[in-house]
Amino acid sequence: MVVTGLVCQELGASLAVLLFPALGPLGIVFLRLGFSAVILMVIARPRVRSHTPTAWRSVIGFGLVLALMNGLFYLALERLPLGVTVTIEVLGPLVLSVIAARRASAWLWAGLALVGVVALAGGGWDRLDPIGVLFALGAASSWALYILASARVGREFPRLDGLALAMVVGALAALPAGLVAAGGALVRIDLLALGAAVAVLSSTIPYALELLALRRLAASAFAILMSLAPATATLAGWLLLGQAMTWLEVAGIALVIAASMGAVRTASARPATGAVSTGPEPAEPLP
């Protein structure tokens, strides 16, 4: 279920890349968040009353993080290969796991990830678009914030209520930039249908599969499997987008995956109250 969810996510990302010429990255962000919000609101049917001001602040913050994270990810994807973008993005949760472990040995995994990122440049950073790398690093930081915001909202809202409401906030936040980027293309039925497909592949199906998987897997095992995201992204980029990579770049991705798995195992070895995984908690699936 986890691997199928990862494959669906990268299929959705690949389809999004193909839609960039017509809708632009920020237009895709709006359609993905908008359709995801509609689907989640129908499924969750969250209550909008009887919530405290603190809970609403948490939801609004979570929604803004969702919009920021998706926006930066797609802006990076416009300039970098899919595998490279996802690999850099994974650094956010990896650093969070290293900090949560509070062990000197955990920093060995951070060092391994650094070696992987250097190798990812293929021997020269001039091969990577520097603005794209900055966008990807911003997405990595946003993913770390997403995990923290997700945990907070998960404690204050039952089931998928918090995620559904946050997705609405995220869609509204992405609306102005989406309108500017996509313009009249947003009224084309074919593009709207493809945007809905991106939302279903990137969000709806993975969310459902991840929730089912989390009923059968320990959180640490789930997080380790989620560390395979760069590998599935690289494969999808090669097969669907023709984004070939050098052996040195593939080796860099493999090192980052190994570092992510090691960081998760180190963090999960601590008492549960202090652990933070690179994967989401059951109440708030991965974006």
Measured CA to CA in angstroms, residue 131 lies from 27, 75, 144, 149, 233 at distances of: 19, 9, 20, 26, 20
| pLDDT at 281 exceeding the cut of 80 | no
**Mean of per-residue pLDDT scores for the chain:** 83
What is the Cβ-side half-sphere exposure of residue 194, based on CA atoms within 13 angstroms? 19
Alpha-carbon span 25 to 29, nearest angstrom: 6
d(CA 143, CA 37): 19
Q: Average of pLDDT values for 173-179?
A: 94
Q: Give the pLDDT of residue 32.
A: 93
- DSSP for 5-21 reads HHHHHHHHHHHHHHHHH
**Size of the chain, expressed as the number of residues it contains:** 287
Residue with tokens 């109250």: 273
The C-alpha R_g of the chain, in whole angstroms, comes to 18
Structure tokens that stand for 59 in this block: 């939801």
Q: Which one is predicted more confidently, 31 or 124? A: 31
- Give percent above pLDDT 90 in the chain: 36
Residue 60 has pLDDT above 90, yes or no: yes
Residue type, 196: A
pLDDT digits (tens, 9 = 90+) for 76-106: 999 999 988 988 888 887 777 777 666 777 7
CA distance 46 to 44: 5
Question: What predicted TM-score, i.e. pTM, was given to this entire model?
Answer: 0.84
- CB of 245 within 8 A of CB of 234? yes
How far from the centroid of its chain's Cα atoms is residue 42's Cα? 22
Count other C-beta atoms under 10 Å from residue 256's C-beta.
Answer: 28
The model's confidence at residue 267, banded by pLDDT at 50, 70 and 90, is low
Which range is least confidently modeled, 87-91, 97-101, 224-228, 240-244?
A: 97-101
Q: What pLDDT is attached to residue 121?
A: 67
How large a percentage of the chain has pLDDT more than 70?
Answer: 89
Nearest-angstrom CA–CA distance, 77 and 135? 9
Nearest one of 237, 167, 169 to 204, comparing CA atoms = 167
How much is the pLDDT for 284? 39
